[in-house]
Chain A
Amino acid sequence: MNAILNYVKKNYIGFSVSVLLLLQVFLLPTLLGEEAAGGILFSIAAVGIGYFGYKAYLFRKQNPDFKAAESTTLVNILGSVIAILTGLLFGFVLMLIINPNQAIDGFFTILEGGFRNIESLGDMIYFSVPLILTGLSVAFAFRTGLFNIGASGQLTIGAFVAVYIGVRWGALADIHPLLHWLAAILFATIAGGLWGAIPGLLKAYRNVNEVVASIMLNYVAMYINTVLIRNFIYNPDFARALDIKPSAASPTFNLDLLFPDSSINAGIIVALIVVLILHIILNKTTFGYELKAVGLNRDAAKYAGMNAKRNIVISMIISGAVAGLAGALLFLVQGKHLTPVNTILTEGFTGIAISLLGLSSPIGVLLAGLFYGSLQQGGYFLQLYDYKPEIIDIIIAVIIYASALGLFLQKFVLKGLKASEMRAARQGPGDATGDTTEAEGSDDK
């Protein structure tokens, strides 16, 4: 209790901002109505950013020696931020060219994204969940030196298993109301993991490149999915899978009361738990230490006596399991159906983009996934203006493209930082007037 009080005392500004945010999110909508609440939310977000900016300024003042260019994390984050800004700027220019009259309003709609109102915030979270999870799947494998391009296939397999259980195992709900849903996501996770194990085993014991193996397994998964749906859970009237039982749909856990009218469900809680677990595995456990070592330098890991083969397989199983879970949460929604169409689900590839943007760290992926969800909402609401909704796809594509140029951007950032530090150095020591780009990110220290 004392510790909490101390924490509050030390961080009273941060604490009061969080209290305000909570108030805002949960109380104001009911008091003021959603439109006003959305506006205030936006302004409070601005205040929050300002607060961190101020903190960063203080940090610079207290640590005049801090050199931003020396912090790789910071440089990486700045790379992602630049990628995002590039994409947004490109989108804005595009909007100006297409329809200058509404460009500013439209652009703010995109920036506002999911923070438009409480409902859209809930929807944003709902749409982010599968993206966060596939992003985590790709990121986890990537941290261990594997490029899992097969998240799509693992997701498809997970989705089928979840939907199959959702359709056929309704009796479980009689034992406990949550059991049906839990069984569906659990078995989907296992199935995704097993599917992910295939390229892992091939890589470890037959030295088959995991990119090739997993991308081909995407097609196998797609066709298997089609066959299985047709044979076991087909609804011929609609050429899609049968409806899942209501008991298998992701429960809302009263989140729908916090975000009225939105599609939000317990998926976000699952996603947060997975973020936490993967974060702990990667950063706190000996297992994560091994996995990262194998990813960073396979020869050194081998020299140190780590079992690289076993690690490759386990890493792919975890990666596949998370993708399978994503598939389950994607389709355990009432009114949504798995279809036996012979097309690969794109969520797996979006996961690669999100992993890239989130710098392959679980927390980064969480933020990137939410950001992506927000952009999606922004693009959706852009339809209220005279723009085609596809414009948001272009913006997202540019952001992804820019993050893929990450290496280049990192160099660019480094050069910029070095130049500004050199300038500062020439003006004399202890000069704290660093430019804003340096100050902004320094709160990661």
Chain B
Amino acid sequence: MKKLLLLVASLVLVFGLAACGGDEVDTYEIAMITDSGGIDDESFNQGTWEGIVEFAEENDLTYKYYKPLEVSDDAYLDAIELAVEGGAKVVVTPGFLFESSIYVAQTEYPDVYFILIDGEPHDAGWTTWETTDNTQPILFNEHESGFLAGYAAVMDGYRNLGFTGGMAVPAVVKFGIGYIAGAYYAAQENGYTLNFGDSTYTYFGNFDESDTNKSVAASWYELGTEIIFSAAGGAGKSVMSAASDAEAMMIGVDIDQSGQSDTVLTSALKNLGVAVQQALQGYLDGDFEGGATIRKGVENDGVSLPMDTSRFTTFTQAQYDAIYEDLVDGTVVVPVNWAELVTFLGDDASNFTEATVAPTS
């Protein structure tokens, strides 16, 4: 016991002396505030963060992420203030939950630049929407990304499809609608019959990796589902694990998830990193494009499939390029809500109900 104490004491002394050496307070120029969930959520936070890290390393800038104390407007605003206290010149916030915090922060710190991903600043009462010149909101066309994933899956030979969303928030709902549209577009184009409807379409109600979520996916695979598109953050891991057990496939979301499991056929990307880097480049070059929302879709490389890492067997780069071109030039207009989806699907719309695909209450 005494020896142990002595050891600890001497350790403290040695490190303590070492600690007396440097005393400068570091500042961090680029700051990110994490949304609920950690920096390694293998999804939204991580995609944004990796973009920041890559950009900052390239340009030799300092960077750091901050974690709010709770999920509330006040706590988010406090975290932004902490980041500014820590020397942040540009603050990146991934997620719509930051909308009203940014609304306050953008006027409180006119000299700080804000990049708000997936949201647009408004006040807490939802009455005033304002984006000042030091703020750049970025939105993505998730439905286009979902469309590409659904199209590719059917073209690659899959006929029994499923979809699991985390929660029915607009971004996730749009992924799903696009996915349905893409899959049935491919089927109608080639005269395939799909087995994809309400029975293999659900929202988990959470974004967590859990046995409950896994068992949902596992039961679908058991009943013959060949591939599940999981737009559910960390819950995607549960689907991967179920797919791995059933020797089936799944489609990832937001970032390239091919490295996480051999069961990932492809991923419906939102090019978070690219979008953040473009905005940061603007900040660095002195022409920050604030004041108005930027939409990232097929026409500005905001969404895509990672063809290099995808595990397609028959779907080719040429087919991908062709459909991508159709989306860009407007030959195909991807539906964005339930009403448009019904029109787009025609007779096949009967496979789905609004309550399942786009629940409102």
**Residues of A with Cβ closer than 8 Å to B?**
89, 92-93, 96-97, 100-105, 123, 127, 226, 230-231, 234, 236-239, 243, 263, 333-337, 339-343, 376-377, 380-381, 383-386, 389-390
Contacts and interface: CB of A to CB of B under 8 A. Distances in A.
B330 interface: no
A145 B20 CA distance: 50
18 contacts: A89-B8, A89-B12, A96-B12, A100-B18, A101-B18, A105-B25, A127-B69, A127-B70, A236-B168, A236-B361, A238-B169, A263-B75, A335-B100, A335-B124, A336-B71, A380-B67, A383-B64, A390-B67
Given A101-B22, A333-B74, A380 B169 contact: no
Interchain residue pairs A-B with the least CB separation, the first 9: A335-B73, A96-B15, A239-B167, A336-B72, A101-B22, A239-B169, A341-B206, A100-B18, A389-B67
B212 A342 contact: yes
A337 B74 CA distance: 12
B259 interface: no
A212 B207 CA distance: 27
Nearest to A389: B67
B328 interface: no
A383 B16 contact: no
A383 B82 contact: yes
B12 A333 contact: no
A104 B19 contact: yes
A101 B19 contact: yes
A30 to B, nearest CB: 20
Nearest to B23: A105
A383 B169 CA distance: 31
Nearest to A239: B167
A105 B25 CA distance: 9
Contacts of B207: 341
Given A335-B73, A383-B82, A231 B16 contact: no
B57 interface: no
A341 B206 CA distance: 5
A123 B21 CA distance: 33
B66 interface: yes
A363 B73 CA distance: 31
B45 to A, nearest CB: 14
Nearest to B170: A237
A238 B72 CA distance: 13
Contact of B11 (A96, A226, A337): A96
B353 to A, nearest CB: 15
Contact of A340 (B8, B85, B167): B167
Interface in B1-34: 8, 11-12, 15-16, 18-23, 25-26
B72 to A, nearest CB: 4
Nearest to B77: A335
B72 A100 contact: no
A172 B167 CA distance: 32
Given A102-B19, A103-B19, A335-B72, A384 B85 contact: yes
A333 B78 CA distance: 15
A277 B204 CA distance: 42
A263 B169 CA distance: 28
B300 interface: no
Contacts of A389: 66-67
B8 A231 contact: no
A227 to B, nearest CB: 10
Contact of B20 (A104, A334, A377): A104
Interface string B185-215: 0000000000000000000111110101000
B205 A333 contact: no
Given A333-B72, A389-B67, A123 B86 contact: no
B26 A237 contact: no
Contacts of B360: 236
Interface string B44-83: 0000000000000000000010110111111100100010
Contacts of A335: 72-74, 100, 124
Given A96-B16, A105-B25, A390-B67, 4 more contacts: A102-B26, A103-B19, A263-B78, A335-B74
Contacts of A263: 74-75, 78
Given A96-B19, A236-B168, A334 B73 contact: yes
Interface string B286-305: 00000000000000000000
A252 to B, nearest CB: 12
B208 A237 contact: no
B352 interface: no
Contact of A342 (B11, B21, B205): B205
Contact of B361 (A97, A105, A231, A333): A231
A128 to B, nearest CB: 12
B232 to A, nearest CB: 12
B361 A101 contact: no
Contacts of B212: 342
A79 B206 CA distance: 40
A322 B349 CA distance: 50
B78 A123 contact: yes
A263 B21 CA distance: 37
Contacts of A333: 72, 74
Contacts of B75: 263
Nearest to B172: A239
B96 interface: yes
Contact of A93 (B11, B26, B168): B11
B195 to A, nearest CB: 28
B359 interface: yes
A383 B63 CA distance: 12
Nearest to A231: B361
Contacts of B26: 102, 385-386
Contact of B124 (A89, A334, A390): A334
A230 B167 CA distance: 11
Given A101-B22, A334-B124, A237 B169 contact: yes
Interface in B157-193: 167-170
